[in-house]
Amino acid sequence: MSEYATLYENDPVYQMAVKQLKEAAGILGLPDEYVEVLRHPEKLVQVKIVVKRDNGKVETYVGWRSQHNSALGPYKGGIRYSPNATAGETVALSMWMTWKNSLAGIPYGGGKGAVRVDPKTLSQRELEELSRKYFAALAKDVGPDLDIPAPDVYTNPQVMAWYYDEYAKITGQPSYAWGVVTAKPVDLGGLHARVVSTGYGVALTAREAAKRVLGGVEGKTVAVHGFGNVGMYAAKYLAEWGAIVVAVSDSQGYIYNPKGLNIDEVIEVKNKTGSVINYKGGGVKVSKNHMELLELPVDILVPAAIENVITAENVHRVKAKVISEGANGPTTPEADRILHEKGVVVVPDILANAGGVTMSWIEWSHNRMGCFLTDQEALDRLDKMMSQNFNRVFDEWQKKYSQYPMRMAAYAIAVDRVVRAMKLRGWI
């Protein structure tokens, strides 16, 4: 194991994932040998991808697929294209997917893939060649009942279409191959609802938390930090459910109106001009310091931009009573503990932004049955699944782990479910 592990065990992202695993194991009282089993992936595949560029030059790229744990079902997780991708980061992300899928209550294990490439430097033809060759190299290690990838950073439904087509050619079974990836284009069995699902899930967990803490979401004020895909749809659905979205931000700044913003108009301005700060509604304050939004006097805060924005330095100025994390890791561990001590309910990323993978399960399960869903049917199912799951996790947190922030309780619940499955299967 030591030679194998040297591919990834010195990576700082991987070490962070292991630290979280150890903390959850400590809460559960798991022995060290269980941690040793869980900290390593079941399989780590490295592939070489040779692409002939449009200028005739031959470039070689490296890619990975980490299959962390399959106790609960086939591996599930996205594939990213990034110039900074590493084996260690890929293993860490696959571990986090194991916990996210476990916590979501869906029958998947955790997987993750990556190619070390800057996709912005590739033409569309080059990107297609890279994508097809990467997936062809993984063909024996993926499949609708084995490992089901999805989009991640700098991959999208078009890339999933290339993956599906390449896999269908290799297997000679296009119908069987239908479920090999999720978040496909609608014409290839995907769901348009997948586009909104992560933001919808973030809004939904904020709504459910508000019922527990604030008496409901109607009339409560909301600030959304980050107005990309996740933040945009989180704001849209919270507004539809009766919340008053008073502030939103992007990288250029934020807008604030204590009486509320017209979110549909803000979305239109964002799409047309590239920034929310160009919104000109009456009574709107505009600031170029988007970090100020985090400290506004609101009931609900949705950090949906980048990691580490709520820190020990600014946490005491955060006034929200409910925080639903749309981004990955927006709250530092120290800030998380302080918020818990203040009585703030922080719905952690592992729970709040699971709408995407839950919708992927909905797509995959219907692909396997050979049938379609309407977008409304898919969103209704997502609403039911995530509402039930949030309340299950919240109740278990309050009953067993209330001395810890909800994040650590969520990790403990997720790890415990995986361990129980491994015991039932006789693995440990």
Pair 64, 374: CB distance under 8 Å: no
Same domain for 167 and 211, yes or no, is: no
DSSP 283-341: T-EEES-GGGGGGSS-SEEEE-S-SS-B-TTTGGG---SEEE--SSS-B-HHHHHHHHH
Query: What pLDDT does residue 194 have?
Result: 85
Average pLDDT estimate for 265-285: 90
Does position 173 have pLDDT exceeding 90, yes or no? Answer: no
How far, in Å, CA of 224 to CA of 323, rounded?
Answer: 10
**424 inside domain:** no
The SS3 call for residue 111 is strand
Query: What pLDDT does residue 260 have?
Result: 94
Same domain for 132 and 265, yes or no, is: no
Does position 416 have pLDDT exceeding 90, yes or no? Answer: yes
Cβ contacts of residue 245 below 8 Å, gap of 6+?
221, 222, 223, 224, 235, 238, 239, 260, 261, 263
Task: Kindly state the tokens that stand for 374.
Answer: 């309407």
**415 inside domain:** no
Query: What pLDDT does residue 192 have?
Result: 87
Q: How many domains does the chain have?
A: 2
Average pLDDT estimate for 77-94: 94
Query: What pLDDT does residue 282 have?
Result: 73
The SS3 call for residue 66 is strand
**254 inside domain:** yes
CATH code for the domain in which residue 84 is found: 3.40.50.10860
Last residue within a domain, chosen from 304, 330, 352: 352
Same domain for 151 and 40, yes or no, is: yes
Question: Do strands 109-116 and 75-82 pair parallel, antiparallel, or not at all (unpaired)?
Answer: parallel
At which residue do the structure tokens 């299967």 appear? 425
Query: What pLDDT does residue 80 have?
Result: 95
Domain that holds residue 84: 2-21+29-179
How far, in Å, CA of 238 to CA of 14, rounded?
Answer: 35
DSSP 81-103: EETT--HHHHHHHHHHHHHHHHH
Same domain for 268 and 163, yes or no, is: no
Query: What pLDDT does residue 3 have?
Result: 56
Same domain for 266 and 347, yes or no, is: yes
**147 inside domain:** yes
CATH code for the domain in which residue 257 is found: 3.40.50.720
Instruction: For residue range 15-36, list pLDDT tens digits in order.
Output: 989 999 999 999 999 999 999 9
Query: What pLDDT does residue 203 have?
Result: 97
Instruction: For residue range 126-142, list pLDDT tens digits in order.
Output: 999 999 999 999 999 99
68 pLDDT band, cuts 50/70/90, is very high
Of 51-65, 151-165, 167-181, which gets the smallest average pLDDT?
Answer: 167-181
Same domain for 65 and 162, yes or no, is: yes
Pair 242, 215: CB distance under 8 Å: no
Same domain for 93 and 231, yes or no, is: no
Active-site option among 76, 100, 112, 133: 112
**76 annotated active-site:** no
**312 inside domain:** yes
Same domain for 118 and 230, yes or no, is: no
Same domain for 284 and 135, yes or no, is: no
**160 inside domain:** yes
**HSE of 324, CA atoms in CB hemisphere, 13 A:** 33
Same domain for 164 and 215, yes or no, is: no
Does position 266 have pLDDT exceeding 90, yes or no? Answer: yes
283 pLDDT band, cuts 50/70/90, is confident
Same domain for 62 and 158, yes or no, is: yes
Last residue within a domain, chosen from 179, 207, 233: 179
Q: What percentage of the chain reaches a pLDDT higher than 70? A: 99
Same domain for 167 and 208, yes or no, is: no
**411 inside domain:** no
